[in-house]
Amino acid sequence: DRKHKEMMLDILQLARSFPLHFDETSLFAGDEKEAAKLKEDIRLAFLNISRIMDCVGCFKCRLWGKLQTQGLGTALKILFSGRQIEALPPPGAQPPAFQLSRQEIVSLFNASEAIHRISTSIRELQNFRELLAEE
């Protein structure tokens, strides 16, 4: 557990060294109350999707669906916690305010593979469109 925790902190420190590629403030620009409501609506939508996944008959499909839903939710949790992540103390200092559970970490890594497949498919779709446009 300690080794994995140190490796996760190393990954977070490395990620912190890169500029943020997505500005979540642009996603929730405007009225603060509306932005907070939108964030809460997204959180509730993910909870609802997870509850819907409980109704899936195939155990394997239910497991993977819930795992990927939780992984996306964890990614959003990280995205919306930018200020807390930037304020993370160095490894070995006091316990940080921002923490992920073991289940969230596992689901995040599993979901990242699914996100990779989706993004690759989108890129290939663009390649096909360009090929069709050339004809």
Pair of tokens at residue 84: 């807390």
Task: Give the Cα separation of 6 and 12 in Å (integer).
Answer: 10
Q: What is the pTM of this model?
A: 0.62
Average pLDDT over residues 106-125: 83
* Percent of the chain scoring above 70 in pLDDT: 81
Where does the pLDDT of residue 21 fall: very low under 50, low under 70, confident under 90, or very high at 90 and above?
A: low
The mean pLDDT of 28-53, rounded to a whole number, is 82
> What ranges do the domains of the chain cover?
26-132
Is pLDDT above 80 for 27? no
Three-state DSSP class for residue 14: helix
pLDDT for the residue 96: 64
Predicted confidence at residue 94, as pLDDT, reads 66
